[in-house]
Amino acid sequence: MNALPRTFAGLRASRTARVCVVLLALIVLAALVGPLVSPHDYQRADFDRILVPPGSGDAHVFGTDDLGRDLFVRTMLGTRITILVAVVASIVSLVIGVAYGALAGLAGGRVDALMMRFVDTLYALPFIFLVILLMVAFERNFLLIFVAIGAINWLDMARIVRGQTLSLKEREFVQAARLIGVSTPRILLRHIAPNLVGVVIVYLTLTIPQAILVESFLSFLGLGIQEPQTSLGALVDAGVNQMEGAAWMLLIPATLLAVILLCFNFLGDAMRDAVDVRGAR
Amino acid sequence: MSLLEVRDLSIRYGATDVVSGLDFDVAPGEAVGLVGASGSGKSQTALAIMGLLPRAASISGSVRLGPHELLGAPARVLDRVRPTRIAMVFQDPAQALNPYLRVGRQLVRILEQHRIARGASARQKVVEMLARVGLPDAPRQAAAWPHELSGGMRQRVMIASALLAGPELLVADEPTTALDVTVQAQILDLLESLRQDTALLLITHDLGIVAGRCERMLVLEAGRLVESGPVREVFSRPQAAGTEALLAATPAPGAAREAVAGPEVFRIEGAAVCYRPRRGPPLHAVRGVGLAVARGEIVAVVGESGAGKTSLGRAALGLVPLAAGRIVLAGSELAPLAADRSLAARRAVQLVFQDPAASLNPRLTVSDIVAEPLTVHEPGLKAAERGSRVEAALAATGLEAGFMTRYPHELSGGQAQRVAIARALILEPRVLICDEAVAALDGRARRRILGLFDTARAETGLAVIFITHDLGVAQEMAHRVLVMYLGRLAELGPAVAVLSQPLHPYTQALLAAVPRADPRDPGGRATITGEVPSPVATPAGCAFHPRCPRAEGRCAEERPAARGVAGSRVACHFAEEFLAGDAPA
């Protein structure tokens, strides 16, 4: 299992990747530590200090919102939740997608055709609609968002893993293992799974920003995280309403969201290059 | 007065020198061979001359073609020079032709682009050129798509496109490496007959081709010119060590190996393999071929692509189902599919693939790869014992213990193939099937592997079935030779007999087409025309008769049965006449 170290070695070689990793680490650190060290609380409204612009005293680094809540603490909190949602949703999609895709690819033939037609059917459903329905039908909660986003993302993962498995299955080293008499589960574990790692890691870094976007979108529509909890999407939504008087309420969370998305995207590209170089060798 | 002047040409990528300080000339009308092992920089030189190197390459020196300096020339100048004064033929015609344009159209474009001709007269010129390169029914073939043509026909089209604008210099980079040996001979003949006044820079790793086709040769080693001179002189008195190594790496035209006698270990009886695609007619890849292998014997299975050699090997291994026939190992019949065979039976028959890099899992270390068969077949083995067995198996192939922790991508082609062989031999199989196992290797690596087989033969009585398209390799390695054509046996006999007095016209043609590294007797002659027909539509009667120089009316009607002739089995009506010395002209 040397896919991981080799991928990381490739990443170290890319300056963009290094910058992205450092930026993401700083953001996560700030999101974790920020609310703890700040004198302010994320939900206490202070009607004497409504819409204070950033940097104007009282340690409101990012200013306050229309209810007088400290925007720095709220932004950091929102970042925490956004990243948490994204990571958990990606893990959900990883587990379902890899298992489903590898199974379909290995089984091949009719089973594979059936399983993939099921995926196609799900693709055809308007998912955002479905999520909105779910949100309306059930109590809005965290868990549901994770599940909903994961349920969208696993389809792509399943397709990619299935395609990769299909081609790996025909590779000569797998045939060689068959000839030696290696059992199918062992072939899967030793010969196919390790060769999937690269693709899966790459795809994972690309699903994370996707999940962030979906979460932000839902929150922006008012269907995601509910007050007084917040996420970057919900903050952007609030900011849009105050855009004319207090642009910082929109710009700060929007910029942070953009930076996080860009970092993950660049990281995904760099990972793909790192894996490709080895593949092309 | 030289046509092409290369002076102090250096090419580097980053810190890596690919070509350094190259000087040479090509005179008008001259044929010059540029030879070297893979990685010696010969293709890079060709690309530099053509102005086709990627941006990442930094180039210095000078390449002059007549009055034009080509290095660093703007696209405007290069477009005027290519292909009207200098043109190139690439190794893989499948990739050099645009799949979305009919071949005639691609050629017409060249004429129109360079304002040589247009409209009806351009089409006329193209059809004439296609006829000259030997495309049958040229007016109709001009409307064909590239994928409808065979490899040899595509390369003919490429040559037509290169010669169309009447260049003074033709650069051919391994133009026949992707082709069968008989087609290679035809293409080289064609190049020679068509180029007339055009100078030729022929780039190849095969000294045999240079011996027969070039006047002068240049030898590259690690990006440096180590030797140059008239072909005969270089061959008879090589000055540089690199040249000697290259010469030694070419299969010598020496004698074949004597047959060995021993008890039979493995037999294929009347094997037939048939692929049934979902659409279209069934493809009969193998039609009733039998082969018995003795203990300690190496049998080569030769033939052009489409002969059914690989299918025969796969059927013996149980990787594809047999449509008819049976496989017998040491007197007992094996289940037709590997999945149904006992572990012991699987253990007894092992395979080495053509591409060593693809047959090793890139995520496992060498020691894990070689140990895997043991973990399956001898699960009770202690880790330490397994380790020492692996070390011994690797040592037998000439790899030290230091290789055990390496990954496949850290190995050269020859080393990787030795790992694959160690993996196959660690189980001490009775039979080893090698599918083009040395095709990707140079002469030294090949000889090493032959030595390895010889040791295993002597020690464990290993029998080897060696599938190859290269008769030179068969001559070097095999005790007996099976020649196949379109899924059927053409000739089977002791290597000494088959390779020195072939009794089937197909074997004769294959032998004549093998280029030999000997300027006085270069071989590489095309004695048969055409290419292997599709196995879906095999000719009636003797499948070889449409290409056979000896064919008579009877051959088109009656399929010759394989029968014993002087210790060989031959499927030709005239085998006895060949034996009597009535060889065709």
Band of pLDDT at residue B506, cut at 50, 70 and 90: very high
The answer to whether A140 touches A146, Cβ cutoff 8 Å, is no
pTM of the model: 0.77
Round to whole Å and give the CA distance between A180 and B423. Answer: 9
Per-residue model confidence (pLDDT) at position A277: 44
Which residue from B155, B152, B156 is spatially nearest to B130, judged by alpha carbons? Answer: B156
Residue of B334, B342, B360, B363 to mutate when probing chain A, most A C-beta within 10 A: B363
Per-residue model confidence (pLDDT) at position B552: 87
A278 pLDDT higher than 50: no
Band of pLDDT at residue A279, cut at 50, 70 and 90: very low
Give the 3-state secondary structure of residue B169: strand
B581 pLDDT higher than 80: no
Determine how many CB atoms are found less than 10 A away from the CB of residue B203: 25
Band of pLDDT at residue A280, cut at 50, 70 and 90: very low
- Chain A residues closer than 8 Å to B370 by CB: none
Over range B55-62, report the average pLDDT: 88
Per-residue model confidence (pLDDT) at position A3: 52
The answer to whether B184 touches B514, Cβ cutoff 8 Å, is no
Q: Which of A130-144, B327-341, B425-439 has the lowest mean pLDDT?
A: A130-144
Round to whole Å and give the CA distance between A162 and A75. Answer: 39
Over range B313-338, report the average pLDDT: 89
Q: Which of A58-62, B95-99, B205-209 has the lowest mean pLDDT?
A: A58-62
The CA distance from B373 to the nearest CA of chain A, in Å, is: 6
- A195 near B CB under 8 A: yes
Using a CB–CB cut-off of 8 Å, the residues of B that contact A are 317, 319, 338, 343, 346-347, 350-351, 353, 355, 358-364, 372-373, 376-377, 407, 409, 420, 423, 427
pLDDT digits (tens, 9 = 90+) for B247-306: 776 665 566 788 888 899 999 999 999 988 887 788 888 999 999 999 999 999 998 888
B582 pLDDT higher than 60: no
B244 pLDDT higher than 60: yes
C-alpha dihedral (A192, A195, A197, A203), degrees to nearest 10: -100
Per-residue model confidence (pLDDT) at position B369: 94
Q: Which residue in chain A has the smallest CA separation from B348?
A: A180
A2–B363 CB contact, under 8 Å:
yes
Give the 3-state secondary structure of residue A157: helix
Which residue from B384, B422, B427, B429 is spatially nearest to B403, judged by alpha carbons? Answer: B422
- A173 near B CB under 8 A: yes
Going by DSSP bridges, is the β-strand pair B68-69/B57-65 parallel, antiparallel, or unpaired? antiparallel
Round to whole Å and give the CA distance between A184 and A191. Answer: 10
B346–A179 CB contact, under 8 Å:
yes
The answer to whether B333 touches B326, Cβ cutoff 8 Å, is yes
| Residue B167 vs residues A141, B113, B134, B199, B350: alpha-carbon distances, Å | 75, 15, 20, 9, 52
| B201 vs B195, residue with greater confidence | B201
Of B347, B353, B377, the CB nearest to A176: B353
Residue type, B442: D
A1 pLDDT higher than 50: no
B434 pLDDT higher than 70: yes
Over range A45-69, report the average pLDDT: 72
The answer to whether B333 touches B366, Cβ cutoff 8 Å, is no
Angle between helices A193-220 and A248-280 (to 10 degrees): 170
Chain-centroid distance of CA B155 in Å reads 15
Residue of A167, A180, A184 to mutate when probing chain B, most B C-beta within 10 A: A180
C-alpha dihedral (B545, B551, B555, B559), degrees to nearest 10: -50
B126 pLDDT higher than 90: yes
Chain-centroid distance of CA B82 in Å reads 30
Helix (H) or strand (E) holding B17: strand B16-26
Phi, psi of B60 (to 5 degrees): -140, 165
The answer to whether A62 touches A121, Cβ cutoff 8 Å, is no
Q: Which two tokens stand for residue A229?
A: 């909890």
Of B338, B377, B427, the CB nearest to A178: B338
Q: ipTM exceeding 0.85?
A: no
Residues near B437 by beta carbon (within 8 Å), at least 6 away in sequence? B352, B353, B354, B417, B420, B421, B449, B466
Going by DSSP bridges, is the β-strand pair B264-275/B216-221 parallel, antiparallel, or unpaired? unpaired
Q: Which residue in chain A has the smallest CA separation from B362?
A: A195
Over range B558-563, report the average pLDDT: 89
Look up tokens 């990606």; give the residue: A90
pLDDT digits (tens, 9 = 90+) for A158-214: 999 999 999 888 888 998 888 888 888 888 888 888 888 878 888 888 788 888 888
A179–B362 CB contact, under 8 Å:
no
pLDDT digits (tens, 9 = 90+) for B383-429: 999 999 999 999 988 888 888 888 888 888 888 888 999 999 999 99
Q: Which two tokens stand for residue B417?
A: 């193939």
Band of pLDDT at residue B525, cut at 50, 70 and 90: confident
How much is the mean pLDDT over chain B? 87
pLDDT digits (tens, 9 = 90+) for A70-119: 888 888 888 888 888 888 888 888 888 888 998 898 888 899 999 999 99
Band of pLDDT at residue B96, cut at 50, 70 and 90: confident
Which residue from B499, B510, B509 is spatially nearest to B469, judged by alpha carbons? Answer: B510
How much is the mean pLDDT over chain A? 80
Edge-to-edge order in the sheet of strand B199-204: B86-89, B169-173, B199-204, B31-35, B216-221, B224-230
Round to whole Å and give the CA distance between B115 and B122. Answer: 10
- A238 near B CB under 8 A: no
Over range B161-166, report the average pLDDT: 89
Over range B201-207, report the average pLDDT: 88
- Chain A residues closer than 8 Å to B356 by CB: none
- A192 near B CB under 8 A: no
The per-residue DSSP string of B247-281 comes to HHHSPPS-PPPPP----EEEEEEEEEEEE--SSS-
The CA distance from B349 to the nearest CA of chain A, in Å, is: 9
Q: Which of A39-53, B27-41, B42-56, B440-454 has the lowest mean pLDDT?
A: A39-53
Band of pLDDT at residue B585, cut at 50, 70 and 90: very low
B372–A177 CB contact, under 8 Å:
yes
Q: Which two tokens stand for residue B24?
A: 């040479």
Round to whole Å and give the CA distance between A131 and A149. Answer: 8
Look up tokens 């409101």; give the residue: A60
Q: Which two tokens stand for residue B436?
A: 């083009």
The answer to whether B248 touches B295, Cβ cutoff 8 Å, is no
Look up tokens 């002597």; give the residue: B458
pLDDT digits (tens, 9 = 90+) for B230-239: 998 988 888 8
